Structure 1
Amino acid sequence: MKRSQDYQLTARPVVSFSDEYPAGYTDPYHSHERAQLSYAVSGVLRVTTDDGSYVLPPNRAIWIPAGVGHTTSCRESVKFHAVYIDPAFDALPEKCRVFEVSDLVRALIGEVISFHQPYPEEGREERIVRMLLDEIPRMPRVDINVPMPEDNRILRVCRLILDNPAEHSDIDHWAAVAGMGRRTFTRAFKNQTGMGLATWRMQVRLMHALSLLHAGLPITSVAYNSGYESPSAFTSVFHRSFGFTPSHYLARQASGA
């Protein structure tokens, strides 16, 4: 199967393909000459850019503008679809965004995947491509991400928390990791991320919990593996953040709601 870099040389402005990552896979830091729209068909992807870290449960998509460096990783095996789009097209998002994938967009991507490359520049294929491009800016945005800092000292802390969301070290520990005093670290962290350490870590834990829920772990296991003291504490935070309980969330996902 061709990898994404093979598609950069295509003569057509839009191409799409399906691929799979094995459990534990990490795609090293890279960027593309084209804009990228990717979504997980099964499993959960984590995409990290210089500006943020994003989690993609099934049927959520991420838009990555051309030239934006990123890494992609997964804890369990993932099947995904990816679309690469010439950045010359107008009215496309200029920043990374996570979207809900509508039934129409899912079907359009499926059609583009089936095209023989290079597809005819006029006719059915071109009309489908145009419809897909029209729908991308209209997809509803979903904010499941955490901002990443530019300061390398704060970035070191953020990467360690992303790698182990259940870690319970206090702010003094993380200030020491950053090589800062407590007050300096607290102020710098908020300046760099727009939120305090506790709020940022809560967002990371929720992102991690979503991955574990989609991997099929029981809610009790998800709670403890995500750093919560009890399933009830996890359910409370989850409900406050998303508007429904973890079990209701999974039911909605299963029904396609």
Structure 2
Amino acid sequence: MKRSQDYPLTIRPVVTLSDEYPAGYVDPFHAHERAQLSFSLSGVQAVTTEAATYVLPPNRAIWIPPGVRHQTQCRENVKFYAVYIDPMLDNLPKECRVFEVSDLVRALIGEIMTFNFAYDEAGREGQIVRLLLDEIPRMPTANIQIPMPSDSRILRVCNMIIDNPGDHSDIDYWASVANMGRRTFTRIFKNQTGMALATWRLQVRLMHALSLLHAGHSVTSVAYGIGYESVSAFTSIFHRSFGAPPSHYRAEHNLKPQGTTA
């Protein structure tokens, strides 16, 4: 498997490559000198920075500014395009975000993937690259993220919940894990994440639900897999959060059940 350092990333202001990770792969914390735009083609990635964790399902992209440490985890086989961009270019996002990929941006990235690394900046290739750079700030943000704490005690709790979203342990248990009293834990957790534990855990479950739906799991198995006691309860909260029930979400995103082909 080639890594980004194997490519001439500084030969042009914008350089692209394709890559894929196997299920279970973890790309440990690292940072790039250039901004990175990763466009997911298949599979679901979880990208974690020191500030938040983001879910990247197919047909969405994540923007990672230069110098931002991040880690990637894959629950299934993942294929993606990576675009590395000179940080000296103007008008590019300053913070990490996941965004919906328009048909135009998808086509532009696909076209740039066919270019030689030393493409003609003054010709057609350069015009296409500049159009992509103009379009990136215009893409609507997809709010698929959870804030991560900096306090190591709270971070330990958060990582345990992320590893097992269906866990039903109560706040007293998590306070004991953090070696804090209940009131202290509640206060520090909210100060660190901007939300109460119950709200934060709900965000984790919904992120995990999206990952499982994109992996082809049924709505029923997703509901029970993330800790809900009934499909109706899961459907209700999913609908409130994403504007459509999970069955409609599957249809809208053309998600195939496991074991089927397109």
TM-score relative to the length of structure 1 = 0.97
- Cα displacement string for residues 233-254 of structure 1 (whole angstroms, at most 9, x for unaligned residues): 1101100111110011111112
The aligned counterpart of 2:29 is 29
Q: Does residue 236 in structure 1 map to residue 217 in structure 2? A: no
Which contiguous aligned blocks of 4+ residues in structure 1 show a shift greater than 4 angstroms?
none
Following the alignment from structure 1 to structure 2, what is the Cα–Cα distance between the partners of residues 28 and 149? 18
Deviation of 1:6 (Å)? 2.7
Following the alignment from structure 2 to structure 1, what is the Cα–Cα distance between the partners of residues 9 and 145? 31
The aligned counterpart of 1:41 is 41
The aligned counterpart of 2:51 is 51
- Cα displacement string for residues 144-194 of structure 1 (whole angstroms, at most 9, x for unaligned residues): 100001111111111111111111111111111111000000000000000
Following the alignment from structure 1 to structure 2, what is the Cα–Cα distance between the partners of residues 247 and 110? 30
TM-score relative to the length of structure 2 = 0.95
The one-letter amino acid paired with 1:117 is F
Deviation of 1:117 (Å)? 1.3
SS at match of 1:175: helix
The aligned counterpart of 2:10 is 10
Following the alignment from structure 1 to structure 2, what is the Cα–Cα distance between the partners of residues 49 and 15? 23
For structure 1, the 5+ residue unaligned runs are none
Following the alignment from structure 2 to structure 1, what is the Cα–Cα distance between the partners of residues 109 and 25? 24
Following the alignment from structure 2 to structure 1, what is the Cα–Cα distance between the partners of residues 142 and 56? 10
Q: Does residue 253 in structure 1 map to residue 259 in structure 2? A: no
Q: Structure 1's 7 and 34: CA in aligned 2 closer, same or farther, altered over 3 A?
A: farther
The one-letter amino acid paired with 2:204 is V
Following the alignment from structure 2 to structure 1, what is the Cα–Cα distance between the partners of residues 197 and 253? 30
SS at match of 2:250: helix
Using the aligned pairs only, state the percent identity: 73
Conserved? CA contact 1:65–1:96, under 8 Å = yes
Conserved? CA contact 1:45–1:56, under 8 Å = yes
Following the alignment from structure 2 to structure 1, what is the Cα–Cα distance between the partners of residues 21 and 92? 27
Following the alignment from structure 2 to structure 1, what is the Cα–Cα distance between the partners of residues 114 and 182? 55
Deviation of 1:57 (Å)? 1.1
For residues 91-130 of structure 1, the aligned pairs below 5 Å read: 91-130=91-130
Following the alignment from structure 1 to structure 2, what is the Cα–Cα distance between the partners of residues 18 and 250? 26
Following the alignment from structure 1 to structure 2, what is the Cα–Cα distance between the partners of residues 29 and 36? 14
SS at match of 2:185: helix
Deviation of 1:229 (Å)? 1.2
The one-letter amino acid paired with 2:64 is I
Conserved? CA contact 2:9–2:84, under 8 Å = no
Following the alignment from structure 1 to structure 2, what is the Cα–Cα distance between the partners of residues 16 and 66? 15
Following the alignment from structure 1 to structure 2, what is the Cα–Cα distance between the partners of residues 109 and 229? 42
The aligned counterpart of 1:73 is 73
For residues 93-172 of structure 1, the aligned pairs below 5 Å read: 93-172=93-172
The structure where helix makes up a greater share of residues is 1
For residues 177-188 of structure 1, the aligned pairs below 5 Å read: 177-188=177-188
Following the alignment from structure 2 to structure 1, what is the Cα–Cα distance between the partners of residues 162 and 250? 23
The one-letter amino acid paired with 1:47 is V
- Cα displacement string for residues 25-56 of structure 1 (whole angstroms, at most 9, x for unaligned residues): 11111000000111211111110000000001
Conserved? CA contact 1:22–1:77, under 8 Å = yes
For structure 2, the 5+ residue unaligned runs are 256-262
Q: Does residue 227 in structure 1 map to residue 227 in structure 2? A: yes
Following the alignment from structure 1 to structure 2, what is the Cα–Cα distance between the partners of residues 211 and 159? 17
Deviation of 1:9 (Å)? 4.4
The one-letter amino acid paired with 2:242 is F
Instruction: Please report the RMSD computed on the Cα atoms of aligned residues, expressed in angstroms.
Output: 1.2
SS at match of 1:5: helix
- Report the count of equivalent residues: 255
The one-letter amino acid paired with 2:251 is A
Conserved? CA contact 1:33–1:66, under 8 Å = yes
